[in-house]
Structure 1
């Protein structure tokens, strides 16, 4: 309950609601400004809760992605690269927490997400600019990586990973002119799903880490020997 009352988390909720309202009203540049506060506020809450630094790094890259995407179409690929780095952080975290073993036990997760990612790329492919075509499949692979490893590790985080995939999938379809990317509803759907995605990924990760500590499983993810959280060495 104390964590929920954190001023950082409250600020995240307020700014998110304000941003969605500004987005719906097309109130530029205020919608862009509020957008760039969303991920940093959530990262500040993670730091307050002594959460994993990989999660802080992922949210930091999300902030950079938001920033570059708002600075203009010329930086679209740079923004995608920042979000790609965020997904690498998410995937790395879940792999360290045993996601690969869980995926081997539940292969249907990977099958479903691989099919979804392939379907998304195929649907968008012919409408994409030539310069984006080599990038989109790589980014789609990272999206399915976050979605599948998060679901294999924690249900709440897994729902967040799925929301991230759908949100960025809508962006890809908009860039391919499969949907109207300038429509108010499209922007609200993208941002609404994105906000839910990073919130569920973050709370899912923090909740799991706290349960691990409480269970006394032999390691404390808040204690690190370097800048990255690591699993304990097997004796």
Structure 2
């Protein structure tokens, strides 16, 4: 059978009961594969129109590929979701931004203490994007508290197109390498914000080669049934 990932793919999503569901519609010649929750089914040309109408009636909307106004509106929705979910989060005793970069640089204790003294600890939205870009290794050194505090700053910067020296998506999809502990203190609302962020990345044509990893992480870690 033809590999469905070789066909033209459309990604649709819907929000239901506080969860985000994802459906892939993949067409090759006269055959369409519909993939949802890891389950795949095949339909022929005679059923395509009705199947598409059924998805639309269930509230599914196309996010990839799609027109720019839709992408812009969805981006604004996700930005609001992130800011709301992480509002009021402070660093506490977590690893700070400069401190994390210092750990990567093998800085001594005095230097690390000096870095931490400079780190923002109360308002993640006050962290300059230039600092996020400069501290490109810190994401690898955050503990759970540090990740919870800094993650929304990275997500917002990515959506606003300001993040240049680091790919936050990489850290969200390669969590099987021991990174899951960094996200263990995220609340359901915060996990849902991350999931919505990753779903939006599927509409980015520049992430075509990242899509299999993003989809795998949505299925295996950032699952809808674990964020509600």
TM more than 0.5: no
Greater fraction of residues in helix: 1
Give the TM-score normalised by the residue count of structure 1.
0.33
Give the TM-score normalised by the residue count of structure 2.
0.34
Greater fraction of residues in strand: 2
Larger radius of gyration: 2
